[in-house]
Amino acid sequence: MKVSEIRTIHVALGLVLFSSLSSTALADDTIELVTVTGTREAQALAETAASVGIIDASSIAELRPSHASEVMGMIPGVHVNVTGGEGHMMAIRQPVTTSPVYLYLEDGVPTRSTGFFNHNALYEINLPQSGGIEVSKGPGSALYGSDAIGGVINVLTRSAPLEPEIEVAAEAGDHGWYRLLLSGGVSKNNDGIRADINITHTDGWREATAYDRQSLTLRWDRFLDNGAGVKTVIAASNIDQETAGTSRLSKYDYLNNPTRNLTPVSFREVLALRVSSAYEQEDETTLLSITPYVRYNRMELLPNWSLTYDPQRYTTENYSVGLLTKYRQDFNPARSRLIVGLDLDHSPGKRDENQLDVTRTNGVFTDYTEGEKLYDYNVSFTGLSPYVHVEISPTKKLRLSGGLRFDYIRYDYKNNLSKVTNGRHRRPDSTTIDFTHASPKFGLTYAFTRQLNGFFTYRNTFRSPGESQLFRQGQAENTVDLNPVNVNSFEVGARGQIGSSAHYEISIYHMTKENDILSFRNTIDGTRETQNAGETLHRGIEVGFGSALGNTVRFNVSYSYAKHTYEKWQPATGVNFSGN
């Protein structure tokens, strides 16, 4: 068996009309832009040794995206597809995938625990009412750990308005579509409050694909007498979706009855709640940041992709309590900066899964009854991660940065059913698993001129196996002995301006993933083994260009070319994808 080389090319062209000129994915003053994701505080983009795409609040407000794909493609090298409703899969320096290779944040706080990754993470965030999106492509800085491989996606909330305001946006369209966006806020003395509400519904253009969302974001900013500030954010989303993402049609139905859904019984119900309170105290040379948070994530799912061979219905749920701490000290010699911090995350969770007996009439799955319980376990994820990040400017134009992060990860797993050692749904015995990983980082930026800036970065990172990979054993002979995936990434790029209205950015990257997790199938005896035996290579170039065309029109184009190669990949006896 031979597989053709995987290549992806993504081109996005856009014309944006403004009542008044505003910035989009890359602003006029590209070198003057500020990003907050890399170091969890405002930092000049010109001194950020990474390719960072920025979509500001005004662009989001004018686009009012109903899906992440309508706005994320403004950033070079970022592709989001639609899987149904607001569901999505991402492709940033990786092929389109459901694997946990991206870290999703809201105001710098992870929206989910490492152990409970969800590739649909953006639909747990109120994106159309956000205050901006930052995408740091490739592995994250020393301030970020597991999952930050393809990129770090940080969605920002909106601060309170200086004057009282109320915003109302109502929409209606075909297929039962309607959406109501309400927003309002007020500031008084040392306090500012904003509330955003998103109510969305669609019947779907296809049978049994209705989608409902209710989201609420509350943000309270308070300035204390000692000069410190406290930002408290409460974010909640409830999602109820009928799905048809993998309900493949025959050629006849595709041509004559394209709205047909062969899996109308499938569904996805999601509840996400996050509460964080960020305390920051800053003076001329120091900054102390302490952010405690709590989270709750629940998802009940009847997947349509497994109805034909392994029908099931399952619920995953986890609670989280965590703490992000950071201390920064600036020194006069060579504009030196030292950042140290410690991240803590404790997330107890559970999985409950039942086999289904399904009814199929004329090729359509019409009903089901629940059968044998396949999995019932509790698992607690614990993460402890100290880090150090250093910056220094040996010359006026050269800025060096380096860092080291150490991650300790622990899973405490309790099987509430019997141990099963054979068959399609094997279950490991109760156990405890530990992982450790040290991630070095290095980068530099150089200002050739005021309007031309270059950067280089090397970053190592990793991905810890998630709870479903470790303990939802399936047919594999063993899964609890899996190790983290290891990643090394090199990148070089340049940002610049042409005159006062045009800008550009170009970056080239080379990234390898080793110890990747794959399932090996022995076609001789029918056994399966999940193992760290894969290695992949990811190379590409990303280009962004934008220019103002007069006072009310802006033109942007983003282009990326990526080549993904199996260096070592043998998924079955006699099957070798290596080199393709």
DSSP string, 74-139: TSTT-EEEEEETTEEEEESSS-SB-SS-EEEEETTEESS-GGG--TTGGGGS-GGG-SEEEEEESS
- In this prediction, residue 431 carries a pLDDT of 97
Calpha distance 545→406 (Å, rounded): 37
* pLDDT reported for residue 20: 32
**Are the C-beta atoms of 386 and 403 separated by less than 8 Å?**
no
Give the pLDDT confidence score for residue 19 in this predicted structure: 33
Does residue 526 register a pLDDT over 80?
A: no
b vs e for 351-377, b when ≥16 Cβ sit within 10 Å of the residue's Cβ? bbbbbbebebeeebbeebeeeeebbeb
* Per-residue model confidence (pLDDT) at position 1: 34
pLDDT over threshold 60, residue 6: no
What is the torsion angle, in degrees rounded to the nearest 10, for the CA atoms of residue 461, residue 463, residue 464 and residue 470?
-160
> Which among 347, 389, 361 is positioned nearest to 143, based on CA atoms?
389
How far is it, in rounded angstroms, from Cα 399 to Cα 392?
6
Q: What percent of the chain clears pLDDT 90, i.e. is strictly above it?
A: 77
Please answer whether residues 94 and 536 qualify as being in contact, where contact means their C-beta atoms are separated by less than 8 angstroms: no
Each residue of 186-242: pLDDT tens digit? 999 999 999 999 999 999 999 999 999 999 999 999 999 999 999 999 999 999 999
Burial (0-12, 13-18, 19+ Cβ within 10 Å), 59: buried
- Residues 537-574 pLDDT 10s: 999 999 999 898 888 888 889 999 999 999 999 998 88
Give the bridge partners for 433, in sequence order.
411
On whether the CB atoms of residues 105 and 95 are closer than 8 A, the answer is no
Distances from the Cα of 179 to the Cα of 23, 60, 65, 120, 128, angstroms: 26, 16, 11, 20, 11
Average pLDDT over every residue of 277-285:
95
Q: Where are the beta strands (DSSP E) in 395-501?
A: 398-415, 431-449, 452-463, 485-498
pLDDT, position 411: 97
The three-state secondary structure class of 70 is helix
CA distance 30 to 545: 11
pLDDT band at 12 (very low <50, low <70, confident <90, very high): very low
Beta carbons within 8 Å of 66's beta carbon, 6+ residues apart: 86, 128, 179, 200
Residue pLDDT, tens place only, 292-344: 999 999 999 999 988 988 999 999 999 999 999 999 999 998 999 999 999 99
User: Hey, what are 507's tokens?
Assistant: 């970056």
367-405: per-residue pLDDT in tens?
Answer: 999 999 999 999 999 999 999 999 999 999 999 999 999
Do the beta carbons of residue 187 and residue 223 sit within 8 Å? no
The DSSP bridge partners found for residue 381 are 347, 411
Residue 247 — very low, low, confident or very high, per pLDDT cuts 50/70/90?
confident
The answer to whether 444 touches 401, Cβ cutoff 8 Å, is yes
Kindly report which listed range (25-34, 265-274, 288-297, 481-490) carries the lowest average pLDDT score: 25-34
Task: Say yes or no to pLDDT of 24 above 90.
Answer: no
Give the helix/strand (H/E) hosting 255.
helix 251-256
C-alpha to C-alpha distance for 434 and 210, rounded to whole angstroms: 42
First to last CA, the chain: 11
For the ranges 59-63, 92-96, 364-368, 548-552, which has the lowest average pLDDT?
Answer: 548-552
pLDDT of residue 552: 81
Least confident span in 63-77, 129-143, 244-258, 371-385: 244-258
The fraction of the chain above a pLDDT of 70, given in percent, is 94
Burial of residue 477, with CB atoms counted within 10 A of its CB: 0-12 exposed, 13-18 middle, 19 or more buried: middle
Question: Closest Cα to residue 318, out of 383, 354, 273?
Answer: 273
Tokens 């305390």 appear where?
Answer: 279
Q: Which amino acid, one-letter code, is at 15?
A: L
SS3 (DSSP) at 42: coil
Q: What is the per-residue pLDDT for 85?
A: 85
Q: Average pLDDT of the chain?
A: 91
Q: What is the DSSP string of 472-526?
A: --BTBS--TT---EEEEEEEEEEEEEETTTEEEEEEEEEEEEEEEEEEEE-TTT-
Sequence letter at residue 280: E
Tell whether the model's pLDDT for residue 109 goes beyond 80.
yes
What are the backbone dihedrals phi and psi of residue 283, each rounded to the nearest 5 degrees, phi first?
Answer: -125, -160
